[in-house]
Amino acid sequence: MRPPSSSPPTTPRVSATFDQYVLSEIRRAAATGIYDIRGAGAKRRLPHFDDLLFLGASISRYPLEGYREKCGTDVVLGDRFARKPLELKIPITIAGMSFGSLSAPAKEALGRGASAMGTSTTTGDGGMTLEERLSSATLVYQVLPSRYGMNPDDLRKADAIEVVVGQGAKPGGGGMLLGQKITERVAAMRSLPIGIDQRSACRHPDWTGPDDLQIKIEELRELTDWQKPIYVKVGASRPYYDTALSVKAGADVVVLDGMQGGTAATQEVFIENVGIPTLAAIRPAVRALQELGMHRKVQLIVSGGIRNGADVAKALALGADAVSIGTAALVAIGDNDPALEEEYQALGSRAGAYDDWHEGNDPAGITTQNPELFRRLDPIKAGRRLANFLAVLTLEAQTIARACGKSHVHNLEPEDLVALTIEAAAMAGVPLAGTDWIPGPGRV
């Protein structure tokens, strides 16, 4: 026992640098000798849409009546070259997530929810399933480096084609689907043995660089008789150049995914330390489009951390034509539900923090190939929940747009925004609130 001291005790101090999470990760690494793999996107605090505010109409601006005056939400994607561009009722799409990483009922639910709201969903690294094609009125087919399950019939069945160069959670990285999720059906679709770890390449096998990409896009257009819009998806790292090069390569649509965008399975160190925040990526991409005279001609879809209608409205105000949601869509259909708290704790996690999507033990039946688990997910009810969520996002974005005097959500503009922090002001290119100062070279 420590002898009594006459001096007051010092409160034990935890390091801000070596916080409890950091300490636990050091211990875990020392015990296992392997990096941590998890799903989802960056969890660290980042400059984000929360750091922006809208300037509602006042004497100098004329608002629209919130419940009576029309505020359009429709968007056309891919009318640069494609004979059959997509005509969506709302500017919120469902991001690419594979069958394999997600269960078949989850893919079906995403299709049902998106279709009910007149928007699109997207395949992923593993090919197109019958369930998602049948349940998705508008389906975007991803062409990924692995080409798992790719065939010309599915490309022709798709409504658009998305050439995936990278994703926000891991620009420059490939993927890994652990063996426990490589069931007989998943293995057959990917031409792989059952139960092995499936690695997805980080580079496409048959093209390198923007000149090759242009020819690859030409091939895809020839294959589909120039009917399908061709998207190019990039992870946000050098958005100005990637957008410009995608336009040069002939993309109809550029999909820009910030580092908050989710992944099925990637190293924690990669997710948290590679790429840039969504907020920082939009304006350089829009600038590239504007300088090329292609803004609103080549559409820009922004993803990574879109959670509510305010985020949708802010992304559109900064120049996006549409947004895409992944993590929020999974939460809407039941991921990380507090009702499953006990089961999450049994897996060493908790509701709201569960991200071991790659292990295939998801009690919500979403990120699993275990029949006992995925049968828990009712795709009809889950689809309804997603449709409800998409409806709320749309209503919220409309509410803000009307308050800013806009008869269409695409009429929102940077002038409608201010920033709460200098960082956000610099990234978004809008004034710090209460000032007319936009940080950055050449800005006033």
Partner 1 sequence: MPVVDLALASVRDLNAALHALGPDTNETHWQVVNPRGLHAIAVGIDVPVTVEIDGHAGYYCAGMNKHACVIINGNAGVGVAENIMSGVVRVKGDASQAAGATGCGGLLVIEGNASARCGISMKGVDIIVKGNVGHMSAFMAQAGTLTVLGDVGDALGDSIYEARLYVRGSVKSLGADCIEKPLEDTHKDQLYSKLEAAGIAGEVDVAEFRRYGSARRLYNFHIDNVAAY
Q: Which residues bind partner 1 (CB under 8 A)?
A: 32-34, 146-147, 150-152, 155, 176, 178-179, 190-193, 195-197, 199, 201, 205-207, 212, 215-216, 218-219, 222-226
Pick 264 or 312: Cβ nearer partner 1: 264
Instruction: Give the C-alpha separation, 300 to 244, whole Å.
Output: 12
Tokens (6 digits) for 111: 């299709």
Pick 26 or 215: Cβ nearer partner 1: 215
Pick 245 or 382: Cβ nearer partner 1: 245
- Based on DSSP, count helices (H) and strands (E) in the chain, helices before strands: 15, 16
- Using left for φ > 0, alpha for ψ between -120 and 50, and beta otherwise, residue 13 falls in beta
197 close to 178: Cβ distance less than 8 angstroms:
yes
Q: Which long-range contacts (CB under 8 A, 24 or more apart) does 54-62 make?
A: 54/310, 54/313, 54/314, 54/317, 54/400, 54/403, 54/404, 54/416, 54/417, 55/404, 55/416, 55/417, 55/418, 56/403, 56/404, 57/403, 57/404, 57/405, 61/404, 61/405, 62/405
Helix axes 278-291, 239-248, angle to 10 degrees: 40
- Least Å from the CB of residue 207 to partner 1: 7
Pick 55 or 178: Cβ nearer partner 1: 178
Burial class for 268, CB neighbours closer than 10 Å (0-12, 13-18, 19+) = middle
Other C-beta atoms closer than 10 Å to the C-beta of 267 total 18
Pick 9 or 33: Cβ nearer partner 1: 33
- Least Å from the CB of residue 382 to partner 1: 32
255 close to 234: Cβ distance less than 8 angstroms:
yes
- Terminal CA-CA length for the chain: 64
Pick 81 or 437: Cβ nearer partner 1: 81
Return the amino acid letter for 8: P
Pick 158 or 192: Cβ nearer partner 1: 192
- Least Å from the CB of residue 222 to partner 1: 4
- Least Å from the CB of residue 125 to partner 1: 13
Measured in degrees and rounded to the nearest 5, phi and psi for residue 39 equal -100, -175
Pick 197 or 413: Cβ nearer partner 1: 197
Helical spans, DSSP H, in 206-277? 209-223, 239-248, 268-273
121 close to 140: Cβ distance less than 8 angstroms:
yes
- Least Å from the CB of residue 182 to partner 1: 10
Pick 149 or 414: Cβ nearer partner 1: 149
Report the C-alpha dihedral over residues 135, 335, 236, 276, rounded to 10 degrees.
170
Of 270, 276, 268, which is closest to residue 353 (Cα–Cα)? 268
- Least Å from the CB of residue 34 to partner 1: 5
- Least Å from the CB of residue 18 to partner 1: 24
- Least Å from the CB of residue 366 to partner 1: 24
- Least Å from the CB of residue 271 to partner 1: 17
Pick 63 or 174: Cβ nearer partner 1: 174
Pick 72 or 179: Cβ nearer partner 1: 179
- Least Å from the CB of residue 177 to partner 1: 11
- Least Å from the CB of residue 333 to partner 1: 30
Return the amino acid letter for 120: S
Tokens (6 digits) for 416: 């409608």
CA angle 154, 157, 161 (to 5 degrees): 75
DSSP state of 416: G
